[in-house]
């Protein structure tokens, strides 16, 4: 009886080659997964950092708005005229001196009306709006007041009295101001939302509204704009 020996060496070598290929593919897959995980962690860390800077800038803006309110309170006797050096304007700056002829609207951030060149920019940096492209706006004369450095954030503000033009709105009937409802008022019994179908809004003899716009520059070029409407 003759027994033939089987030569399995080439097949075994081929099997070992396939195993090596799978091992390499597995290593590549693990490497890609590791890179994706590291990138995800980096992105999350960056996102959380930006959210923290944004929150910090918003908190600084709140303090700057309080400074603006303090300025209004301290200068309540002279709010009928502009005080541009203090960032105060006794009108919305969106009407000419007659209080009737419309001027270009104010774009406080420079990006609200970016699609139109018929807008007024606020000169936040005191450099005649050099950061904006020439020809993209129609006016850059509104100046701001320095609120100082708050938690390492640079804050500035501007205040607009929501009236059509400067002057005493009590004695000058041609001045139109946005004010709280004052006629036929009554106490509101409910808290929270007030509905036109229910009791009327409370009345009062408050003055016009004041619009306070604050810009805060923080770390990593974080920029925050806030608006606060107050009346006295």
Write the pLDDT tens digit of every residue in 88-142: 999 999 999 999 999 999 999 999 998 899 999 999 999 999 989 999 999 999 9
Measured CA to CA in angstroms, residue 223 lies from 55, 68, 156, 165 at distances of 11, 19, 11, 30
Give the pLDDT of residue 17: 74
Q: What is the pLDDT of residue 58?
A: 86
pLDDT > 70 fraction of the chain, expressed in percent and rounded: 83
For residue 148, what pLDDT is reported?
95
Q: Give kind and range of the element (H or E) at residue 107.
A: strand 106-107
CB 155 within 8 A of CB 148: yes
| Contact of 155 with 213, CB cutoff 8 Å | no
Check residue 2 and give its pLDDT.
54
pLDDT (0 to 100) of residue 55 = 83
In angstroms, rounded to a whole number, what is the distance separating the alpha carbons of residues 144 and 147?
9
State the Cα–Cα distance between residues 65 and 60, nearest whole angstrom. 9
Taking only the tens place, the pLDDT of each residue in 64-91 is: 999 999 999 999 999 999 999 999 999 9
Average pLDDT over residues 189-212: 68
pLDDT at 77: 94
Residue linked to tokens 């980096």: 42
Q: Mean pLDDT score of the chain, rounded to an integer?
A: 86
């Amino acid at each position: 009886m003759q027994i033939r020996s089987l030569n399995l060496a080439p097949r075994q070598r081929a099997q070992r080659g396939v195993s090596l290929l799978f091992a390499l593919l597995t290593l590549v897959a693990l490497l890609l997964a590791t890179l994706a995980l590291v990138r995800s962690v980096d992105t999350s860390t960056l996102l959380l950092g930006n959210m923290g800077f944004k929150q910090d800038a918003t908190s600084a803006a709140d303090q700057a708005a309080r400074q603006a309110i303090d300025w209004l309170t301290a200068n309540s006797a002279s709010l009928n005229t502009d005080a541009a050096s203090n960032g105060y304007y006794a009108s919305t700056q969106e009407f000419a001196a007659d209080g009737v002829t419309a001027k270009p609207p104010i774009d406080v951030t420079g990006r609200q009306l970016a699609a139109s060149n018929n807008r007024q920019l606020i000169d936040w940096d005191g450099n005649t709006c050099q950061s904006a492209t020439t020809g993209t706006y129609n006016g850059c004369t509104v100046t701001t007041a320095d609120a100082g450095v708050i938690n390492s954030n640079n804050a500035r503000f501007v205040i607009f009295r929501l009236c059509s033009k400067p002057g005493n709105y009590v004695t000058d009937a041609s001045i139109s101001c946005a004010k709280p409802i004052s006629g036929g008022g009554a106490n509101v019994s409910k808290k929270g939302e007030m509905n036109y179908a229910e009791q009327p809004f409370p009345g009062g003899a408050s003055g016009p509204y004041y619009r306070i716009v604050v810009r805060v520059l923080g770390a990593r070029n974080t920029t925050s704009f806030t608006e606060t409407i107050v009346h006295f």
